[in-house]
Every structure is written in C-alpha cells, then in structure tokens.
Amino acid sequence: MEQQKICLDNVDCIIKTYADMLLHLAIAKTRNREYSEEIVQEVFLRLLEYDKCFESEEHVKAWLIRVTINQCKKLWSSSWYRRTVPYTEYREESCEMKEKSEVYYALLELPEKYRMVLHLYYYEDMSVKEIATMLEMKPATVETRIHRARALLKKKLKGEYDYA
C-alpha cells in the first residue's frame, strides 16, 4: 500500500470503518457512552490535523487506538470527569437501553488497566506483543495483567467460562 495522508476526501471511509471500534475502546476505558462519543470525534479531528503519512491500514488503526487511549487518559486526568461519572449510573442507564451479559459488566467493573488489556485481547484479538507495543509496556506486564484480570473475573462471574 502506498503511503497516504488522510484528507477530507477519504475521511468518510476512515470514520465509517473505525468509529465503532474506537467507541468500544473508549467505553471500555471511560465506561461512559457520551464521553466516548466526544472522544471518538476528537480523535478523528486529530487525524485530519495529522501531517505525516500512514504506511498501511494497520498503521492507521494503531494510530487511532493510541490517540483514543491518550484522549481517554486526558479525560480521566480531569477532576471534572472523576467527579461526574458515577459508574453505577452508567450501568443503570446502559441496562435500560440494551441488555448485556454478566461478562460485560464484570469486565467493566475491573480496574482500568485490566479493562484496557482485556478489551484489546478479547475484542480486538490482539496478541500480547501487539498490546504491549500499543500500550508501551513490556509483554511480561501485559501477561501479568491478563492473568490477574482473569483471576478477578473468575471471582466475579457465576457461570463457567472458557477464558482463552
């Protein structure tokens, strides 16, 4: 694939392809749909401002995931967010809107660093190495987090699951 720069002509395609993926990632991180929508929009705005060329589709995807995580961190670091996102409320609203399984809620109740790793591992089907690169951490750390997150999930979940 030739090196390409994102511009107004091809941004439609990019948004349609990746919007949902980024929304899921942002929800896993922030546990709030409204904030996540804003974050996704902000990420696409940044994409248009990005000067450099992308080498491949994978490069675009990796860049979008990285920027989404950074945007979530930025939001998380603000005390406004910390004081205005009670998870219980989100859960109640979410329950009313669309019924989800105990797995989903158990995973959302995990600490943020475990949520992120598990989301990328289970939903994005990324390998430990890929997650490590994405989150800028050692593969051993990712493995430990996955292991600990699974242990926490096992405590929370009533049903029997295959955790692979």
CB of 57 to another protein, least distance (A): 19
What phi and psi, each to the nearest 5 degrees, are found at residue 97?
-75, -55
Query: Of 45 and 53, which CB lies nearer to another protein in the complex structure?
Result: 45
The whole-angstrom separation of Cα 97 and Cα 75 is 24
Q: Which structure tokens are listed for 155?
A: 């405590």
If one counts every other C-beta atom within 10 angstroms of the C-beta of residue 88, the result is: 7
**Window contacting another protein (CB under 8 A); options: 44-52, 60-68, 126-134:** 44-52
Encoded one letter per residue, x for contact with another protein by CB under 8 A and - for no contact, window 92-131 reads: ------x-xx-xx--x---xxxx----x--xx--------
Contacts of 28 (CB under 8 A, 6+ apart): 107, 108, 115, 116, 119, 123
The whole-angstrom separation of Cα 39 and Cα 23 is 8
Query: Is 147 an interacting residue with respect to another protein (CB under 8 A)?
Result: no
With beta carbons less than 8 A apart as the criterion, state whether 3 and 55 touch: yes
CB of 82 to another protein, least distance (A): 5
Residue among 50, 72, 29 at smallest CA distance from 14: 50
The whole-angstrom separation of Cα 125 and Cα 80 is 33
CB of 153 to another protein, least distance (A): 8
Contact pick of 50, 59, 62, 76 for another protein (by CB under 8 A): 76
Query: Is 1 an interacting residue with respect to another protein (CB under 8 A)?
Result: no
Residues that bind another protein (CB under 8 A): 8, 11-12, 15-16, 19-20, 23-24, 27-28, 33, 37, 40-41, 44-45, 48-49, 73, 76-83, 98, 100-101, 103-104, 107, 111-114, 119, 122-123, 153, 159-164
